[in-house]
Amino acid sequence: MAITSANQLELLQTAEAVAREKMIDPSLVVEAMEESLARAAKSRYGSEMDIRVSIDRKTGRATFTRVRTVVTEEEVENYQAEMTVEQAKQYMENPEVGQQYIEEIPPVDMGRIAAQSAKQVILQKVREAERDRQYEEFQDRAGTIINGVVKREEYGNVVVDVGRGEAILRRTEKIGRESYRPNDRIRCYIKDVRRETRGPQIFLSRTDPMFMAELFKMEVPEIYEGIIEIKSVARDPGSRAKIAVFTTDMTIDPVGACVGMRGSRVQAVVNELQGEKIDIIPWNEDQPTFLVNALQPAEVSKVVLDEEAGKIEVVVPEEQLSLAIGRRGQNVRLASQLTNLDIDIMTEVEESARRQKEFEERTKLFIETLDVDEFFAQLLVSEGFANLEEVAYVEIDELLVIDGVDEDTAQELQTRAREFLEEQANKALEKAKELGVEESLINFEGLSPQMLEALGEDGIKTLDEFATCADWELAGGWTTVDGERVKDDGILEKFDVSLEEAQDLVMTARVMLGWVNPDDLTPSTEEIEE
C-alpha cells in the first residue's frame, strides 16, 4: 500500500481496492489517507502546524492547506496554529475571534519513513473500520447459533471463521476435551458480542445452557413456533443435562414432542453435544411437584418448601439416596440449577432423627424458661408451639385447647413467657448501649433490643450507618459463584427478617434522615390509573 509514487487516480483506485477487500466504506479509506498525508506534511513543515489534507473524491487530487485560528491575545498558546486579531489583519479584512485563515501550501514528497508512517495510519484506520463493521453486524446476533469453519487453534482457544469476521471459542467454553483441526466445520452459540480495541469481539460457547435450548429450538418445530416453551436448562457439559418444557396446549405432550419419533429429535441434540445425556422434564408451576420431576429418576417420599429462604427439603427412601444425589452430586446439582432452589436431601431415617432433635430442643426450652415439667412442655411442642413469643402473645383460646389447661393456667404461662422475654430484652438493650449503639438507632421503630445488640456487634451504631446498609446485608441472601449458589449470612437473618422487611426498614431510615423524598417512594394516583 505504499503511496510514494502514486499519482492522483491511483490513490482512489487503492482506496476502492482496500475497501472492497475489507468490505468497508471507501470514504473511510480515503479519510485515512488524508490523515496520513497530513501527518507526513506536519513532519515536513512542523508538527505544531494545523495542516489538513483534502482528497477530491472524483479526480483524486490532494490539496494541502494550513489553518490558523484567530484568538484573543491572552489565549494564544500555539503561534503556528493560532494568531491574534492584530496579526490576522495582514491576511484578512475585519478579522474576528473564532475565524480561520486557510492557505494552500505545496504538496509534500514523501520519503521512505514518511511513507511507512502513512501506511501504518491507513492500516490502523482500516482495521478499526473493519472491527466496527464486524461489531455492528454481529451485535444483534448474540444469543443465536452460528456455523463456522475452524481457522486455527491457539493455546486451546479455537479461532473460528464466521463469514465476515473471526470469533473465538475459549477452551473453557468447549465440551470436555474437544479438539478441532483447521477447516473443520463447527456449530457454536454466540454468547457475547462486545466492542474491544484489540483481540476478538465475538465470543462463542458450546457449554452454555442456552446452546442446548437453541439446538432444541432448531430440532423441534413446536418450540420454534412457540407452542412449547423452554422454562429452564441446567447442564454439566459433556456429561448430563436437564431441560424443563411446558405447553398450554393440552393436546400436545411437551416431553414426547422434544423426544421425537424413536428419539430422533433428542438424539440429534445429543450427537451435537458429544453424547451428553439429556433428561427432558415437564415444568410445573407448583415448585415441589416440579422438583420431584427434576430429581428423576429418583423417587421422592416428601417435600418441604421454605419459600422465604428459597430452600427445599427432600425426603427419599434409603435405597433411593445415592440415585437422588447422583454421581459426585450431579443429579441434585442439576435439579437445583433447574429449579433455582437450594435442595437439602435426606433419608426418612435422618428426617425422623432431626424432627426428634427439634422436639427435644423445644421441650428443653419450655422447661427452662416457663418452669414447667417435661410432660407439659411436650404437650406445648405437640400443639405446634415453637418458641416463647408464640406462647406469650398468642390468643388465650389457643392455649385452652391443650388438655389440662384452664384459663388461670394459660394466663400464668403467658405471664411467665412475657416476663422472661422482657428480661432478655432489657439485657440485650443494656448490651447494645455498652457496645456504643446511639439513641438515634435505639429509638428507631421496628428494631428489637436483640436486633440492636446484633447491629452493635457488627459495628452499626447510628441511624446513618443503618441507612447505608443493603437489604441483603441485613436479611441475607444467595449469590451464584461459578454456577454454585452460595449463602450470604445477614446481620438480622436469625430474627427471621425477610428481604422486603429489611428494605422497608432501610428506606424508612433514609426518609427520616432526609436522604430520600417520601413522594418518590409512593406512585401517584395518575400512575396507578395508567
Q: Which of 47-51, 403-407, 499-503 has the highest mean pLDDT?
A: 499-503
Cα–Cα nearest to 375, from 384, 366, 388:
366
Largest CA distance in the chain: 116
Q: Three-class SS string for 325-357? A: HCHHHHHHHHHHHHHCCEEEEEEHHHHHHHHHH
| Dihedral Cα 338, 339, 342, 343, nearest 10 deg | -90
| 142-205 and 359-417 share one fold | no
- CATH tag for 359-417 (out of 1.20.140.10, 3.40.50.300, 1.10.10.410, 1.10.150.20): 1.10.150.20
Report the pLDDT averaged over residues 237-262.
Answer: 90
CB 93 within 8 A of CB 80: no
Q: Which CATH class for the 8-127 domain?
A: alpha beta
- Measured CA to CA, the distance from residue 503 to residue 59 in angstroms comes to 69
Find the mean pLDDT for residues 434-451.
86
Residue 419 neighbours by CB under 8 Å, 6+ apart: none
What is the average per-residue pLDDT within 354-382? 79
pLDDT at 291: 86
CB 212 within 8 A of CB 235: yes
Per-residue pLDDT at 244: 93
- Name the band, by pLDDT with cuts 50, 70 and 90, for residue 309: low
Report the CATH fold assignment for 142-205.
OB fold (Dihydrolipoamide Acetyltransferase, E2P) (2.40.50)
> Minimal CA–CA distance to 287: which of 324, 342, 236?
342
Which grid cell is 267?
438424539
pLDDT in tens, 149-160: 999 888 888 899
Query: Who contacts 499 (Cβ-Cβ below 8 Å, separation ≥6)?
Result: 471, 472, 475, 477
Residue 233: predicted pLDDT? 92
- Is the model's pLDDT at 1 over the cut of 50? no
Domain boundaries, the chain: 8-127, 142-205, 359-417, 439-521
